[in-house]
Structure 1
Amino acid sequence: MLKAVVTDVDGTITDSRRRISTAAIECIRTLVDGGIEVVIASGNTVCFMDGLCKMIGTNGTIIGENGGVYRRTFDGTLRIAGDQTVCREAFDTLAAHFSEQSVTLELYSPDYRFADVAFARNVDPDEVREVVREHRHPVRVLDTGFAIHLQALGVNKGTALSELVGLMGLAPAEVMAVGDSENDIEMIRTAGIGVAVANSTGATRAAADYVSEKKYGDGFVEAVKMYYADFCSR
């Protein structure tokens, strides 16, 4: 039996313009009110996600920084899984490389990140991967479509979910995960039911148990209605 939902934010419970889907939020609140815990999973910072959880109405259980951090409820201890030191070293290498092309890399929220490094998507992600491939401390390069992230190897939303469900007293098989991007693939594979909304990348769709017919937040609602019919009327 499914007892929790973990969902990505951008592209999953938003629309194409990154506006939060009101239908998705109503659906989440119905789940929460029915005793189904909803976990917000994102590449965003903890402070951003705290505000989002408050506004949506969840209990603050999160996976942040693409799995680099996670926490059980607002009152829980923030667990840091990633190693930001290696990410910063890789970023310095990238900054030096692109400066030779007269390109400056813009860090996103450097004072509020604990595990990864994120910067503006004003360079080719494939070139970023090529530059860091030979770095003395290899890192993973994630292109979310909104930013480029550097993450320690072996850290992702799936590994965070595996740890987090233990704190929730659940098993991965009791969770449905919904996403749209490459940084959601491991999370989708880890969960008992993995869902890709219709606007997902091809690799994300291939990893999912179910691909919604609808896009963005409407696709999230579609999946919840399918697997949690008792909580969201058809």
Structure 2
Amino acid sequence: MLKALVSDVDGTITDRRRRINTDAIEALRTLVDAGIEVVLASGNTVCFMDGLCKMVGTDGTIISENGGVYRRGFGGTLHIPGDQKVCLEAFEVLRDHFAGEGVRLELFSAQYRFADVAFARNIDPDDVRTVVRDHHLPVRVLDTGFAIHLQDPGVSKGTAMRDLAREMGLLPDEILAIGDSENDIEMLKAAGVGVAVANAPEPTRSAADWVPRESYGDGFIETVKKYYPDLFSR
């Protein structure tokens, strides 16, 4: 049996309107109660993830800010491998560029972020990538479908998952990873089994070992029933 589950949040255990799938929460609790290590992985802030973990009932092991921050358990050390300074410097260049085109970039929860920069999707992410490329900015642009992120290119959900696996005494091959977006690709590739729910874009589905028939939270439930049949056959 796979000993750990790493799951994205938005678009994976929610619906398209970001409403959490309550059956997915019940499934996560079933896994926790069975002794499966459950890690929630997201582009969201640590404080958001802490509240979610408490309400869901996990032990607080998280991957936050798309891998720029991770922690094992609520009492664990908060590791910040991501370099926010380069992201902030890149954002200043982007803000000035798009201001010249009459577009104001809106930062999301900047005071609560440690590693990356996130801003509203009121511009085309490909336009952001073009400016980053033309100015030779040392950042990666991620489109989660909910926000645009600037990230240290040396970190991802995949690198954070491998580091967490070492802390937990596990091999990546013992982990099931589930996601729906481009920021999940490295995580799906690094896991023993990587699953992209059906609403994922083609590049993410191509990176996965399996794609369920269902989308969003229903696809998550379909996945855990497939890979943990003994826990969900009752």
**TM-score (normalised: structure 1):** 0.98
SS of 1:176's equivalent in the other structure is strand
Q: What is aligned with 1:216?
A: 216
Q: What is aligned with 1:16?
A: 16
Mapping of residues 7-86 of structure 1, within 5 Å: 7-86=7-86
Mapping of residues 1-234 of structure 1, within 5 Å: 1-233=1-233
Q: Deviations over 1:167-223 (max 9, x none)?
A: 111110000000000000000000000001011110010000010001111110111
SS of 1:102's equivalent in the other structure is coil
SS of 1:39's equivalent in the other structure is strand
State the number of aligned residues.
234
Find the aligned partners of 1:219 and 1:94 in 2 and give their Cα distance: 36
TM-superposed deviation, 1:136: 4.8
TM-superposed deviation, 1:15: 1.0
Contact 1:90 1:135 in 2 (8 A): no
Find the aligned partners of 2:59 and 2:99 in 1 and give their Cα distance: 43
Runs of 4+ in 1 over 6 A off after TM superposition: none
Q: Which residue identity lines up with residue 231 of structure 2 in the other structure?
A: F
Find the aligned partners of 1:72 and 1:233 in 2 and give their Cα distance: 30
Contact 1:172 1:192 in 2 (8 A): yes
Find the aligned partners of 1:162 and 1:195 in 2 and give their Cα distance: 17
TM-superposed deviation, 1:53: 0.3
Find the aligned partners of 1:155 and 1:44 in 2 and give their Cα distance: 15
Give ranges in structure 1 of 5+ residues lacking alignment. Answer: none
Find the aligned partners of 2:71 and 2:142 in 1 and give their Cα distance: 22
Q: Which residue identity lines up with residue 87 of structure 2 in the other structure?
A: C
Find the aligned partners of 2:135 and 2:221 in 1 and give their Cα distance: 42
Q: Which residue identity lines up with residue 152 of structure 1 in the other structure?
A: D
Q: Which residue identity lines up with residue 135 of structure 2 in the other structure?
A: H
Residue identity (%): 70
TM-superposed deviation, 1:137: 4.2
Q: Deviations over 1:98-151 (max 9, x none)?
A: 110121110000000000000011011111001111435410000111100000
Find the aligned partners of 2:66 and 2:183 in 1 and give their Cα distance: 7
Q: Which residue identity lines up with residue 60 of structure 2 in the other structure?
A: G
TM-superposed deviation, 1:154: 1.9
Find the aligned partners of 2:171 and 2:134 in 1 and give their Cα distance: 37
Q: Which residue identity lines up with residue 153 of structure 2 in the other structure?
A: L
SS of 1:230's equivalent in the other structure is helix
Find the aligned partners of 2:33 and 2:193 in 1 and give their Cα distance: 21
Q: Which residue identity lines up with residue 163 of structure 1 in the other structure?
A: D
Contact 1:80 1:115 in 2 (8 A): yes
Q: Which residue identity lines up with residue 124 of structure 1 in the other structure?
A: D
